[in-house]
Structure 1
């Protein structure tokens, strides 16, 4: 049985709520977070509205489960980023993303969060994990590899951004197939899973696939 939430040594994974917007608007305020995903830092009102939509936990048509967590650094529980998973296909497939605010990048938090998220997803029965990553985003690629993902030969255009699909590294999650993709296609806009969200990635808006 999976834990109620992902867990890791240095991070708390707390379910997202609209109340988190006031703190997270500062975490997501750096323009550099949007270099590969496009977009601009959200305003407080925009982020609060986004979080209200995401906190619903499910797409309007009921086909997607939306899971979003604010990453808080132990022991002070200061917010440093977020991770998200859009679960579909009757719980078998998930699209993931993570974002770490610029002051906390380069300290291994994105890799730690991504690993914990994949472990949690596997325990819940997910068999395919996807994450979209811009081909030029080497930092996100490193996070993906650290989480046990390897690139495939496939490319796909999403919102004018090429994304590389990845599968899990041999021996990491034997029964699990994984892929990553740039800006989180379903839950996040403006950020990608592996850009430091990754969705890691900056701001996300969980919206149903067109």
Structure 2
């Protein structure tokens, strides 16, 4: 995958060395909870995620490191967790604080959602904290719309695909 300003490189354990710095700002976890991962924690996470699926096989994981063109510097990531036998994708995006405010998240989320639609995933959604206005802006720019459903304090946003009524 690629977009105008970004390269999308499939996640590998080796990315942890660079991504630990991209993900180091405490402000990135204001709405999602948790803290910045250590290098050891990030390597362990990437080891699990790079398998491409959950241990029980019910989820398919797609994770890409976002790299700026032309220097390939990592600026964040996008991910899609596909469930429900390929009928539902939960998407997420994170851009490191030095690169926020430049449209990278919107560009990446749009590209990811377009890719999911072309692969035939009918339901694409994200859960966003209602006070996280920047993430809501990204979601809207990527074609997601807010619903009246909430889960663990986060609002469900969904792509208005005509087939998204799958149970």
* Aligned match for 1:16, one of 7, 11, 29: 11
- Pair 1:30 & 2:25 matched: yes
Mapped partners of 2:88, 2:133: distance in 1: 25
Q: Equivalent residue for 1:206?
A: none
Corresponding residue for residue 108 of structure 1: 103
Q: Residue 168 of structure 1 aligns with which residue? A: 159
After TM superposition, list the pairs within 5 Å mapping 1:173-184 onto structure 2.
Answer: 174-175=161-162, 177=164
- Structure with greater helix percent: 2
- Give secondary structure in 2 for the equivalent of 1:22: helix
Identify the match of residue 152 of structure 1 among 144, 147, 150: 147
- SS of 1:41's partner is coil
Unpaired segments of 5 or more residues in structure 1? 1-5, 179-210
How has the CA–CA distance of structure 1 residues 176 and 145 changed in structure 2, closer, same or farther, with 3 Å as cutoff?
A: farther
TM value normalised by structure 1? 0.76
The answer to whether the 8 Å contact 1:122/1:176 transfers is: no
- The within-5 A match list for 1:1-210 is 6-157=1-152, 162-168=153-159, 174-175=161-162, 177=164
Residues 96 and 130, structure 1, Cα contact 8 Å, conserved in 2: yes
Matched residues in 1 for 2:137 and 2:163: separation? 19
1:161-199 deviation digits (Å, cap 9, x = unpaired):
x11112335xxxx43549xxxxxxxxxxxxxxxxxxxxx
Cα deviation for residue 43 of structure 1 reads 0.4
Distance of 1:177 and 1:19 partners within structure 2: 36
Residues 89 and 69 of structure 1: is their aligned pair in 2 closer, same or farther, counting only changes over 3 Å?
A: same
Which segments of structure 1 move beyond 6 Å, counting only runs of 4 or more? none
Partners of 1:105 and 1:81 lie apart in 2 by: 10
| TM-score, normalising length: structure 2 | 0.95
Q: CA deviation at 1:149?
A: 1.1
